[in-house]
Amino acid sequence: MKKLLALLLSIVMVASFTACTNSQDNSDLKDTQDTQATTLSNEDVNAETLDTDVLEWVDFAQYNLDETAQVKNIILMIGDGMGENIIKASEIVKGDRLVMSGLPYQTHVTTYSQSVTDGLAEFTDSAASATALSTGVKTYNKYIGVDKDGNKLETICEFAKGLGMKTGLVDRHYVCHATPAGMAAHTDNRDNYPEIIKEMLASEIDVMFGGGAQHYKDIKSVQRTASKHSYKFIDNEEDLLSATSSDGRLLGLFAYANMDRASMNPSLTTMTSKALDLLDNDKGFFLMVEGSNIDVFESAQDMTSTLEQMQSFDKTVDLVLKWAEKHPGTLVLVTADHETGGVVIPENATAKDINDSCFTSGGEHTNTNVLLMAGGAQSAEICKPDLIDNTDIAKYMRSVLSKE
C-alpha cells in the first residue's frame, strides 16, 4: 500500500510540474538503498525495487575509516537545525546510538551570526551559518556567500573547483535554498531563489539534487536553463539511477517545492549514493549533503516528523561511512548549521516523553552550540579543542585540501 501511495504521489508531482506557472513561493520555511542501487542496468531500474518509502532506524555500526591518508574527498553532512538534544532524543526513541554518534571524534561548535538587534545577537539563520561553514567568514542573516559589507567571498565549492576537484550538493529542500546556496552562490537576499539557482548553475557544480522546480516558469524552462549550462536535467528516480558520469553535469529537481516528507522518492540516501558514484574521480571531490527538513518540522514543533527526518539523515550517514571505509582519503564531517526548537529532554526520559512538548523556543532557531562529529582522513585535529566556531570548519577544510 505504501509503495502504491508513493507511486501515486510521484504521478501527482509530475502533473504539478507540467501545470506550474510563473508564480513563485518565496516563503521562508525557516529554515539505500546502498551503493548497489547505482549499478542497476537501465532495464532493471525501477523505483519499486528500492523501498525508499520505508522509514526505520538504521542499526548502529562503527566503521574503520583510514585517518592517516591525505585528504582527497570531503563529505560535509549538515543536519539543518540538528542540535545535540535532538540527537539524544532520537537515541532515546531508537533505544540505541545513532550511527553518527559512533564517529571517533566530536567537539562543540558555536553558530552565531553577525546580526544584532538592540545590542543583542540575533539567532543565526541558515544563510549566515552556511556562509560561515562554506567561506570561513561571519555575515548577517539572510546573506549568502558575501560578507557583512556585501563583498563576495570564495565558497567551498569555488575553492574545491580551483583545485580541480568535482563538487556536489544534495538536499531535500529547494536546490537553491539557504544551505546549498551558501556553498556556491553570492547574494544579500537568500529569498531570491531564481537568481540564486542561475548563479549555482553558472558555477558549474557537477551534481545538484533536491527540490524547488517551482522557481522556473515550467518544466521546459527548467530544461532550457540546465541545457544552457551543459547540465542534463532529470526529475524522477529512474533517470537518477540510470545516470552515469558520461552524462556530464547533472541537475535533479525531484519535487515542485520542498521534499518535506522523508518517504518521498528518491530518498536522501539514494540521492547521496548516486552523487558519490558520479563524483568519485582521481582528483577528489567536495560533497555537501543536507538533512534539510529536520529544521522544518522542529519549527512546526512536530516531534514525530522531526524523528522521521532524523531516521533519514542517520541512514544517509551510515551510507556515507560505508562508502568512506572503502575509499581512503575521505574526510567525513557531520554537523548542524544551528539548533532549532530549543529542544529540552525531561530527566530520566523514556521514548514516550519525547514529544512535541520538548520544543521550548516556539519553533525558533537558537544559538545553542551544536556538535561536530568527524571521521576519516585527517579527522582528529579539528576536534582537539573542546569548542570551535563554525568558521573553523571552513578553514579546516581548506587547510587539509591545500596540503600536498
Catalytic residue IDs? 126
CA distance 351 to 230: 49
Do residues 103 and 331 touch, judged by C-beta distance below 8 A?
no
CA distance 249 to 231: 5
Give one DSSP letter per residue of 193-232, joined into a string: HHHHHHHHHHTT-SEEEEE-GGGSSSHHHHHHHHHHTTEE
**Cell 533517470 sits at which residue?**
239
Do residues 292 and 258 touch, judged by C-beta distance below 8 A?
yes
CA distance 170 to 168: 7
CA distance 16 to 219: 10
CA distance 282 to 280: 7
The pairing of beta strand 231-234 with beta strand 285-291: unpaired
End-to-end CA distance of the chain: 53
Alpha helices in 95-218 (DSSP H): 126-135, 156-162, 178-182, 193-202
Bridge partners, 187 (sequence order): 144
Do residues 301 and 356 touch, judged by C-beta distance below 8 A?
yes
Do residues 342 and 360 touch, judged by C-beta distance below 8 A?
yes
Tell which residue, 130, 99, 86, 125, has the closest CA to residue 302.
86
**What is the distance of C-alpha 104 from the center of its chain?**
21
